[in-house]
Amino acid sequence: MNSKKRIMQLIMGPVLYLLISLGLGKSGVIDYTAAKGIGTAVWMIYWWVARPVAITVTALLPGVINALFNIVPMEDVISQYASSSIILIFGSCLLTAPWSEIGLDRRISLKALSLIGPSMKSQITVWLLAAVVLSNMMPNVVVVAIFTPIAVSMLAAAGYKDIKNCEAATPILCAIAWGSQVGGAGTPLGGAMNITAIKFIEDFTGTEFMYVDWITRMLPFTVISTVAVLATMLLKPMETTSLSGTKEYFEKCYRELGPMKKDEKISLVLFVVAMLGSFIRPLYADLLPGLVPAYLFLILGCINFVIISTEKKEMLLTWEKAQTEVMWGMLLLFAGGLALGQILTGSGANDTIASFVSGMNLSGGFGTVLIFTIFACIISEMTNSTVSAAVTLPIVIGVTQKMGLNPIPYVFTTVMGMNFESILPVSVRAIPVSYGLDPSKLMKNGFVVALVRMVAAVLTGYITMLIWPGFGNLS
């Protein structure tokens, strides 16, 4: 980035904050504290979009701004950087950290793809569906990080080494990125954006959220959006209609792995136990009230530090390895979103925005769902789903409460809207771009997919609310 342009963008963030906080707050248009909260959100969103600094650095702004301008009690902000939601993601990272070294990630991927066919339509279908399925078991970014190098290797084996100029590479790599995000909506384990949503739901209800509620309510959307995105990709004209040798490549690679090793079995069992324990939480919640999924994942993840590897004759996971495998940036980004939510709520900014939206004469019907969902989609595309969750969900809860409605159905419909990004080469899409995917091709193809997926979110959310009386009733 041009240094002069970067300096201007750096300055523009605090300038926007001052314009909003002083212009709206000191003039009496809205409460001064609420204006500072809105100013904080605008500053962060601007930096997230313009990126004069890394998005993870922007996630640290709530603590910095709050220390300077005293918007809400500092402990409310800082506590978000070590919340149970952060522990859940950290524990999940510890569980999957040994996979790359012991080869379990590659085994899972190759097994899922060993039956792939040579046609481009088969390629797109299998890559997308495999990403959807695995994103229901692990974070989106992990799935994309696992699949992308395998796809690039497959293309190279088929004779396509120049990924940037390879017509066959674009739909395959896009299918991986988009499929992971479709699948990530179906489970709380799909990514930080879903954990953010759960945190807001728990803050609103004052009770523990059961993961089974998420899965049952998001299943129709996951199925519909999978079909919609896949159909959109398959109907697009393709210059390359078939690859050669891909099925043989996967089968050969899988055979070379040999039988599953003891280390792989142990690591897989720990992960499966963590997932099952989260899903059946209602069965033992009364017996073990403190063993929420966050601490279950942490406990099982820490077991990797004490199990002796049969291959290396040392611990299955060392701290040095954990330091390189844990996605620290994602943890901070997620925490920054939660901290921003605390500032928006504690400053009264959400109430102010809710009052404004309430003045639009929304009835809680289709128009309300449409506005919430489109707003979430736009924020996700401009930044990422985690940021969108932090910005939109507190507003959704505030607005619906002011309207005298149950916020939970609207939270779930908004989650459908926020749980997808397809256009900009950021977030999980930065991974295939780093392997050679042309950003301009990603953006060109992403616009159509974004529109299709947005329509699917609006219609699925609204229709589900109409035909499912218990949609807003949690366990």
pLDDT in tens, 137-163: 766 776 787 788 778 877 776 677 788
278: burial class by Cβ within 10 Å (0-12, 13-18, 19+)?
buried
Domain boundary among 274, 294, 325: 325
Q: Among 1-5, 51-55, 172-176, which range has the highest average pLDDT?
A: 172-176
In the chain, the largest separation of any two C-alpha atoms, in whole Å, equals 71
The yes-or-no verdict on residue 303 having pLDDT over 90 is yes
Distances (CA, A) of 164 to 271, 323, 358: 35, 32, 48
Q: Do 187 and 45 belong together in one domain?
A: no
Residue 63: its pLDDT value, please? Answer: 92
pLDDT at 425: 67
For residue 382, the model assigns a pLDDT of 67
Q: pLDDT tens across 386-429, in order?
A: 778 887 888 898 888 888 889 999 999 999 998 888 887 666 77
Higher per-residue pLDDT: 465 or 238? 465
Distance set, CA 165 to CA 73, 407, 441, 455 (Å): 53, 47, 10, 31
Give me 35's structure tokens. 């204006």
Report pLDDT for 20. 92
**CA gap 377, 392 in Å, rounded:** 10
Tell me the pLDDT band of 73, cut-offs 50, 70 and 90: very high
* Residue closest to 426 by CA, chosen among 386, 475, 470, 367: 386
Q: Are 31 and 102 found together in one domain?
A: no
Asked if residue 286 has pLDDT above 80, the reply is yes
pLDDT (average), residues 95-108: 81
pLDDT band at 331 (very low <50, low <70, confident <90, very high): confident
Answer whether residue 245 is part of any domain: yes
Angstrom distances, CA of residue 241 to CA of 156, 167, 169: 17, 10, 12
Instruction: Check whether 229 has a pLDDT greater than 90.
Output: yes
Phi, psi angle pair for 474, to nearest 5°: -95, 160
Handedness of CA 288, 294, 300, 302 (dihedral sign): negative
**The pLDDT value given to residue 391:** 79
Q: Are residues 211 and 233 in the same domain?
A: yes
Is the CB of residue 375 less than 8 Å from the CB of residue 424? Answer: no
Q: Nearest to residue 277, comparing CAs of 298, 292, 264, 255?
A: 292
What local confidence, expressed as pLDDT, does residue 17 receive? 93
List, in sequence order, the alpha helices (H) in 51-119: 55-58, 61-69, 74-78, 84-96, 99-102, 104-113
| Residue 139 vs residue 343, higher pLDDT | 343
pLDDT reported for residue 245: 62
Classify residue 208: in a domain, yes or no.
yes
Q: What are phi and psi of 119, to 5 degrees?
A: -75, 155
117 — pLDDT class (breaks 50, 70, 90): low
Domain range for 12 is 1-71
- Answer yes or no: is 252 within a domain: yes
**Phi, psi of 86, deg, nearest 5:** -65, -40
What is residue 246's predicted lDDT score, i.e. its pLDDT? 63
Q: Flag whether 139 is in a domain.
A: yes
With a cut of 90, say whether residue 190 has pLDDT above it: no
Residues of 76-112 as b/e, b for ≥16 C-beta within 10 angstroms?
Answer: bbbebbebbbbbbbbbbbbbbbbbbbbbbbbbbbbeb
Q: Which of 327-331, 335-339, 441-445 has the lowest mean pLDDT?
A: 327-331
Place of tokens 């248009």: 29
pTM summary value:
0.69
CA angle 183, 185, 189 (to 5 degrees): 85
What confidence score (pLDDT) does residue 100 get? 79
**pLDDT reported for residue 87:** 84
Mean pLDDT of 14-31: 88
Pair 107, 231 in one domain: yes
Q: Are residues 48 and 100 in the same domain?
A: no
Residue 34 predicted with pLDDT over 70: yes
pLDDT band at 369 (very low <50, low <70, confident <90, very high): very high
pLDDT-above-90 percentage for the chain: 25
Residue 460 scores a pLDDT above 90: yes
**Domain identity same for 58 and 197:** no
Q: Does residue 236 lie in a domain region?
A: yes
Residue type, 473: N
Average the pLDDT over each of 69-73, 115-119, 406-410, 450-454 and give the range with the smallest value: 115-119
pLDDT at residue 360 is higher than 80: no
The pLDDT of residue 354 is above 70: no
Choose the final residue of a domain: 43, 71, 99.
71
Same domain, 43 and 133: no
For 360, counting Cβ atoms within 10 Å of its Cβ (0-12 exposed, 13-18 middle, 19+ buried), the class is exposed
Contact in structure between 139 and 206 (CB atoms under 8 Å): no
User: Residue 242 phi/psi, 5° resolution?
Assistant: -155, 145
Residue 146 covered by a domain: yes
According to the model, what pLDDT value does residue 242 have? Answer: 72
For residue 65, what are its two tokens? 């701004």
In angstroms, the CA 457 to CA 82 distance is 32
Mean pLDDT of 158-179: 85
The 10 Å Cβ neighbour count of residue 470 is 9
Q: Which of 301, 274, 324, 305 is nearest to 100 (CA)?
A: 324
Query: C-alpha distances in angstroms, 379 versus 42, 247, 442, 451?
Result: 12, 39, 18, 14
Least confident of 298-307, 312-321, 347-356, 422-431: 422-431
Residue 133 and residue 65 share a domain: no
Q: So what's the pLDDT on residue 428? A: 72
- State whether 228 and 119 are in the same domain: yes
Together in a domain, 116 and 232: yes
CA dihedral 140, 142, 146, 149 (to 10 degrees): 80
Q: Between 70 and 278, where is the model more confident?
A: 70
The C-alpha atoms of residue 408 and residue 356 are separated, in whole angstroms, by 20
Which pLDDT belongs to residue 461? 92
Side chain identity at residue 53, one-letter code: V
Any residues with CB less than 8 A from the CB of 75 and at least 6 apart, and which?
none
Same domain, 301 and 274: yes
**Is pLDDT of 228 > 90?**
yes
Q: What is the dihedral of CA 214, 220, 224, 230, to 10 degrees?
A: 50
Q: Is the pLDDT of residue 67 over 90?
A: yes
- In a domain, residue 367? The reply is no
Q: What is the pLDDT of residue 244?
A: 61
What pLDDT does 142 receive? 67
User: Among residues 295, 325, 355, which one ends one of the domains?
Assistant: 325
172 and 31 in a common domain: no
Domain presence at residue 110 = yes
Split into its structural domains, the chain has a count of 2
- Highest average pLDDT, of 137-141, 439-443, 457-461, comes from 457-461
